[in-house]
Amino acid sequence: MRSRRSRRPSQLCNEIEARGLAIDALVNNAGFGTAGTYVRSSWAAYEAMLQVIVTATSELTYRLVPAMIERRHGRIINVASTAGLVRAPAGVMYGASKTFVVSFSELLAREVRPHGVHVTAICPGFTRSEFHEASGATDSVRWVPAWLWMDASTVARQGFDASSTGTPVYINGRINRLSVAVFKYVPMPLVVAAGRQFAKLYGMRRPHQAEITDTGSLP
């Protein structure tokens, strides 16, 4: 039996069909994170995270993209993260789920572009939104310098522009693009050490109820 949370995409699409609406653009943005190491968070939090970031994104796209293909027009923006592009050992499940979003978007983009549909995964870094508040990590990111943060409106505008041009994967911000490029050449032992330090700064603790609540915040 499907949980109430897992039934939401189908319920939403049924409502869209009942109202006779044509969806030309879909933005899969809901998501949340958990603080601490993999074994310190509850499985309930991870299960909810996978449902929101992986399953709901896949199902909403699956249900809405056929009509876009038929009309030969559509835009799908999936909000991923720079965490989905680097193999950092901090935030294991979050990073892995965002890696799925990136790969899913890139592969689907190749499949549907000949039909006039653009699919884009945007990969922001630190973004001013409700994301860290919902994860209970507001105090833990106060150390992040101001120049590393982006406004949600800027991230959204860049994502829209990238989708319009048919860019499958777009990294928001020059600093983030440089960081991802450099990260590929960093030896894994240093990555592991940096990830452990980040986990300590981010707060290694068990998640509270807010961490298993859907949010519409950009990561």
Catalytic residue among 38, 46, 62, 94: 94
The answer, yes or no, to whether residue 106 has pLDDT greater than 80, is yes
CA distance 159 to 144: 23
The answer, yes or no, to whether residue 135 has pLDDT greater than 60, is no
Segment 81-94, tens digit of pLDDT? 998 998 766 678 88
Rounded to 5 degrees, what angle do the CA atoms 182, 199, 30 make?
80
Q: Which residue has the tokens 């991870």?
A: 46
CA distance 76 to 197: 36
- Name the DSSP class of 127: E
Q: Which residues contact 197 (CB under 8 A, 6 or more apart)?
A: none
CA distance 105 to 112: 10
So what's the pLDDT on residue 150?
A: 86
With a threshold of 0.85, does the pTM exceed it?
A: no
Which stretches does DSSP call E strand in 45-94?
Answer: 74-79
Task: Tell me whether residue 202 is one of the annotated catalytic residues.
Answer: no
Q: Which domains does the chain have, with CATH numbers?
A: 21-212 (3.40.50.720)
Q: Which amino acid is residue 77, in one-letter code?
A: I
- Determine the average pLDDT of the residues in 64-76: 97
Q: Which amino acid is residue 127, in one-letter code?
A: T
Q: Which residue has the tokens 């068990």?
A: 206
